[in-house]
Amino acid sequence: MSESTVDILVVDSSVAVKWFLSDREDHVDSALRLLRAHLDERVRLAAPAHLRLEVLNALLHRGLDAKALERASAALEGFRLDWHGVDGAMAVSAARIAAAHGLTLYDGAFAALALDLDAELVTDDRRLAASGACRTRLLGA
């Protein structure tokens, strides 16, 4: 399938963490279906690079040890997401979005990337979804 016919979706950490904590999260089936669609090249998942740190931090706080975090990091890389760095322009956009919608800068960066890519943001964060900062799809809805 050519890239031009594949929808690009931005995913945030609330979705990606479900790929690793399936026994402790809601909407895991939806998150795994989305990942499978990406791996099958039916959609293309994109994320700002800080998703890596947010996911690993969530896993660390759920009790995973250093070795498990290494495996999770390797798995994230193996998923072949389209990673986007947060440059100065995106940081400013994220800050504007965060200030306007009462979000964290990290969440603002997910919305900024979605706007930049003209893509929908998939999240399980109801507050982010309700913010109106960008086109959003609530996981499991």
Q: List the CATH number of the domain containing 120.
A: 3.40.50.1010
**Those residues with Cβ within 8 angstroms of residue 83's Cβ, 6 or more apart along the chain or in another chain:** 46, 47, 48, 49
Pairing relation of β-strands 7-11 and 120-123?
parallel
Residue type, 114: A
8 A C-beta contact, residue 10 and residue 122: yes
**Any bridge partners for residue 136, and if so which?**
121
SS3 52: helix
Do 12 and 137 touch, CB atoms closer than 8 A? no
Mean pLDDT by runs of 10 across the 141 residues of the chain is 75 97 84 97 98 97 96 97 96 97 97 98 96 94 74
What pLDDT does residue 42 have?
97
Q: How many domains does the chain have?
A: 1
Q: Give the domain extent around 13.
A: 3-138
Do the bridges between strand 136-138 and strand 120-123 make them parallel or antiparallel, or are there none, so unpaired?
parallel
Tokens of 88: 């100065």
pLDDT at residue 4 in the model = 55
